[in-house]
């Protein structure tokens, strides 16, 4: 059975980008693959969360995973920092990752612009840690959104490079995965770019009906089309992208037609969009709080997931250490 792995950083709450770009695929994959899903708490440290908030961040994502339908009986659900094997692989992969290629990563260049006072080494080697997350389970498929495509390419490069460097076949090349053909980019409601946690343009799985409606009704549009079949400006195209993601095909066709013949009323489009978002997210919201509070349940879920993840990680690390040439004085089976 093919191995699937993916994760989300523990910063804030999950939004529609996380859900439709990643989490919904996790849920669909659970029945047919050997799945590992985790919370990337170490990755979240690049932005220095306050120690008082750090654990709550992890717990939030865990509760939102489970409320969305991740099933701990089907998938191994764990927290990155509970699996130290990842970090050993991270050190080893760092030795075959080069400064130049890491500096050229788009996400690194973006971060330099966004946080010029905190360009730490963790940001530079972020893709190496991510490759370690993936390769430690020898994953074949990695469900992610479009923004992670370059990181996935780095994981593929490192898998190949390790195998060649150490003349081994330890790692398969992992592939980015989406149930459609292309990876998804969920746009924000502010007219341009993607929905993101730090962009302040998101609809969250934990939002209530009123705030979802308010956010959608405030979304940027324009004065409306004046010529038949005219090209959509980006903010309007973004609303249609969201509509295609959350609504059924006939709704999308209806509004596309009314755009093309210039009869569209953006207010109606937004009302429909808000309603269809609510239909998808409110049942999830209703479960989040209760799960978040259930300490005993969360502990059980993570215990089972961590045991599975460590077993898989240890098996890989054994192969890795052999390939690199470690021979321990301390154990007889090496
Ligand atoms: P993160 O936490 O930024 O995002 C988690 C997942 O959500 C997807 N995503 C989106 N997809 C479509 N449209 C959007 N607007 C949007 N915003 C976010 C992301 O593509 C991602 O799949 N580095 C990763 C976390 C990570 C990881 C891994 C992922 C660490 N190790 C190993 C996969 C495998 C990250 O920061 O994702």
Q: How far apart are CA 227 and CA 108, in angstroms?
A: 42
177 and 91 co-located in one domain:
yes
> Which of 25, 127, 145 is the pocket-test mutation for ligand 1 (most atoms within 8 Å of CB)?
145
Per-position DSSP letters for 76-137, written without gaps between them? EEEEGGG-THHHHHHHHHHTT--HHHHHT-HHHHHHHHH-TT---HHHHTHHHHHHHHHHTT
Residue 173: C-alpha distances to residues 183, 197, 280 (Å): 18, 29, 34
Q: How far apart are CA 39 and CA 60, in angstroms?
A: 10
**320 Cβ contact list (under 8 Å, min separation 6):** 89, 92, 162, 170
Q: What is the pLDDT of residue 197?
A: 85
Beta strands of the chain (E only): which ranges? 3-9, 34-40, 75-79, 141-143, 175-177
pLDDT tens digit sequence for 256-272: 999 999 999 999 999 99
Domain region containing 261: 209-289
For residue 11, being part of any structural domain is answered with yes
- CATH number where 233 lies: 1.10.240.10
Helices (H) and strands (E) in the chain, counts: 15, 5
Look at phi and psi of residue 228 and say left if phi exceeds 0, alpha if psi is from -120 to 50, else beta: beta
Q: What is the pLDDT of residue 200?
A: 83
285 and 318 co-located in one domain:
no
For residue 329, being part of any structural domain is answered with no
Q: Dig out the tokens for 139 from the structure.
A: 């994953």
Asked if residue 72 has its Cβ within 6 Å of ligand 1, the reply is no
- Per the annotation, the verdict on 218 as an active-site residue is no
Q: What number of residues does the chain have?
A: 334
233 and 98 co-located in one domain:
no
Distance 23 CA to ligand 1 centre (A): 9
SS3 for 141?
A: strand
Torsion of CA 62, 68, 73, 79, to 10 degrees: -20
Q: Quick one: DSSP state of residue 13?
A: -
25 and 151 co-located in one domain:
yes
CA proximity to 160, closest of 152, 170, 175 = 170
- Per the annotation, the verdict on 111 as an active-site residue is yes
The active-site residue out of 111, 215, 270, 285 is: 111
CA proximity to 15, closest of 247, 153, 202, 244 = 202
Q: What is the pLDDT of residue 328?
A: 87
For residue 271, being part of any structural domain is answered with yes
- CATH number where 307 lies: 3.40.50.620
The active-site residue out of 74, 146, 185, 197 is: 197
Q: What is the pLDDT of residue 198?
A: 80
pTM of the model: 0.96
For residue 193, being part of any structural domain is answered with no
84 and 155 co-located in one domain:
yes
For residue 238, being part of any structural domain is answered with yes
Q: What is the pLDDT of residue 333?
A: 59
103 and 27 co-located in one domain:
yes
**19 Cβ contact list (under 8 Å, min separation 6):** 68, 205, 281
Q: Quick one: DSSP state of residue 40?
A: E
284 and 299 co-located in one domain:
no
Measured by CA distance, the residue closest to atom 33 of ligand 1 is: 6
Q: In the chain, how many domains are there?
A: 2
Distance 251 CA to ligand 1 centre (A): 29
Phi, psi (rounded to 5 degrees) for 226 = -115, -15
Beta strands of 184-255 (E only): which ranges? none
Residues of the chain under the 70 pLDDT cut? 332-334
Q: How far apart are CA 230 and CA 279, in angstroms?
A: 31
């Amino acid at each position: 059975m093919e191995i699937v792995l993916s994760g989300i950083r523990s910063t804030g709450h999950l939004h529609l980008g996380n859900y439709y770009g990643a989490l919904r695929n996790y849920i669909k994959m659970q029945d047919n693959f050997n799945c590992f899903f985790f919370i990337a708490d170490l990755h979240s440290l690049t932005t220095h969360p306050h120690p008082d908030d750090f654990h709550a961040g992890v717990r939030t994502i865990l509760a939102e995973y489970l409320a969305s339908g991740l099933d701990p009986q089907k998938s191994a659900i764990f927290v990155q920092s509970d699996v130290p094997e990842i970090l050993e692989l991270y050190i080893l992969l760092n030795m075959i990752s080069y400064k130049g290629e890491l500096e050229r990563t788009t996400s690194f260049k973006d971060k330099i612009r966004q946080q010029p006072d905190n360009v730490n080494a963790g940001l530079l080697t972020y893709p190496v840690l991510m490759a370690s997350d993936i390769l430690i389970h020898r994953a074949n498929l990695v469900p992610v959104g479009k923004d992670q495509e370059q990181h996935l390419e780095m994981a593929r490069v490192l898998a190949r490079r390790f195998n060649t460097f150490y003349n081994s076949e330890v790692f398969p090349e992992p592939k980015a995965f989406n149930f459609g053909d292309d990876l998804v980019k969920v746009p924000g409601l502010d007219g341009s770019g993607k929905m993101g946690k730090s962009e302040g343009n998101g609809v969250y799985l934990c939002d209530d009906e009123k705030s979802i409606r308010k956010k959608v009704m405030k979304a940027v549009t324009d004065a409306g089309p004046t010529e038949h079949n005219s090209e959509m400006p980006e903010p309007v195209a973004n609303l249609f992208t969201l509509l295609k993601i959350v609504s059924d095909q006939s709704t999308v066709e209806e509004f596309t037609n009314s755009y093309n013949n210039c009869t569209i009323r953006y207010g109606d489009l937004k009302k429909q969009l808000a309603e269809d978002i609510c239909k998808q997210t409110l049942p999830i919201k209703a479960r989040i709080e209760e799960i978040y509070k259930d300490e005993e349940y969360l502990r059980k879920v993570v215990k089972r997931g961590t045991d599975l993840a460590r077993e898989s990680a240890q098996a890989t690390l054994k192969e890795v250490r052999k390939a690199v040439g470690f021979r321990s004085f301390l154990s007889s089976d090496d």
